[in-house]
Amino acid sequence: MANLDSIFHCLSDTTRRAVIAQLVNGPAPVSELAASHEMALPSFLKHINVLEKSGWIETNKSGRIRTCRLRPETVRAAEGWLEQQRRHWEARLDRLDAFLANMNEAEDKE
């Protein structure tokens, strides 16, 4: 499992995010993925390598065809970190709401 640095770095590029969005629909050969990007193949292959090294995809070669497959545990790792931040944030706002409600109640009683 790659670390969060490289997992998030991988998402900082439009082409790589587009490849992930393509692979969400199922495994696909590199040639098919490349066809929908206006980019020289060597440049595209660099993105594929970054995706593989960071743990977003795994690739298998069978004959001349290299197939890419998304690793869902990486989607969950990235989403998990963000979800954790949002939950802590919301929990804090809930505590703030409760505090303000208590204050209003105390004022009403006065």
Q: Which of 61, 64, 72, 106 binds a copy of itself (CB under 8 A)?
A: 72
DSSP 8-state assignment for residue 28: E
What is the x/- site pattern for a copy of itself, positions 82-101, by CB under 8 A? xx-xx-xx--x---------
Between CA 14 and CA 63 the distance in angstroms is: 30
Q: What are the two backbone dihedrals, phi and then psi, of residue 69, each rounded to the nearest 5 degrees?
A: -140, 135
Q: Can you tell me the distance from the alpha carbon of 65 to that of 71, in angstroms, rounded to the nearest whole number?
A: 19
Site for a copy of itself in 2-61 (CB under 8 A): 4-6, 8-9, 11-14, 17, 20-21, 24-26
Binding region for a copy of itself (CB under 8 A): 4-6, 8-9, 11-14, 17, 20-21, 24-26, 70, 72, 75-76, 78-79, 81-83, 85-86, 88-89, 92
